[in-house]
Amino acid sequence: MSSPTRTVLITGCSDSSLGSALALALHANGSFRVFATARSTSHMAALSSAGISTFALDVTSPNSIASLVKEISSLTSGSLSMLINTTGGGHYQPFLHLDLEKAKQLFDVNVWGYVAVTQAFLPLLLAHAEPGPGKRKSVLVNNTSISSVLRTPFHSAYSASKAAMAMFNDIQRIELAPLGIKVVDLKTGSTESGFQENKSNPCDLPADSPYQPIKEDVLKVVRGEVTGAYEEDREAWAKNVMNDLLKDVDNPPEQIWRGGAAGIISATSKIGAVLPDSWTDGSFRSLGGLDKLEKLREEQAKGS
């Protein structure tokens, strides 16, 4: 079999992650030479065993990013066909109890990490791209997730980070199009992966929190139990995403919706965009038990 003529760098590829599954799928496909990253190469044993080149990368460290650019550039003669940003973390709390330091750290990974890596690798993407219709393109993929369009209670910091990255993605798509770079917003739904391990410490409500009466509802949302029934196997997700990207590798779709409930959210988000927020807020309140809390507080007020 001939050597792949295209190259792809994927961030966030720790074992059991979505990035890892996508790296394995693209490697098996044979169309790309795959470069995978995680904070430590020891976290990518499965990829190393499969023969995929792995590299350590801390997306919040300029020195780490610069070092990786030099390594990849030396291996590809200064060119890169595709960059897929999937690195991510989570922090979940009621807004009232949000840890601002952890929230800032989350944005450093989910937003500024994506931005920093993309800026650093743009020269390599530009080297591969050929501006003009019908010409060879480079591809940038940002995993913004369906959380970028959802108002899930107790997810304010995480959803805000994903929404921020989604806006970066949209403007990148417009600005980079004349330079021969296609930009894809990957809206990932609920998917079986090791992402839960990357969340900050589980939500621990203060004893005097007004949300104590619905603590179990809060924890179910924080642990992702309310969406677990819709989880898609990560290997299936990776195969679907790969097929979406490679159907027309030089002209991929602007958005890819894959994962549990992604199709439903895609449709409802379009409908919700033309409806008053008050029409959809109720479903989110019930999701987190906030409708129950409202009734409890009303009853307490009547009894006082």
Catalytic residue among 137, 162, 187, 220: 162
Burial 212-240 (b: 16+ CB within 10 A, else e): eebeebbbbbbebebbeeebbebeebbbb
DSSP E strand boundaries for the chain:
6-10, 32-38, 53-56, 82-85, 138-143, 181-188, 255-258
Residue 188's closest CA among 87, 271, 274? 87
230 tagged catalytic: no
Cα atoms found within 13 Å of the Cα of residue 166, Cβ hemisphere only: 18
Structure tokens at 113: 């990490």
Cα separation, 246 vs 165, whole angstroms: 23
Give the chain's largest Cα–Cα span. Answer: 78
Catalytic residue among 92, 158, 211, 220: 158
Report the residue count for the chain: 304
102 tagged catalytic: no
Q: Which residues are catalytic?
A: 158, 162
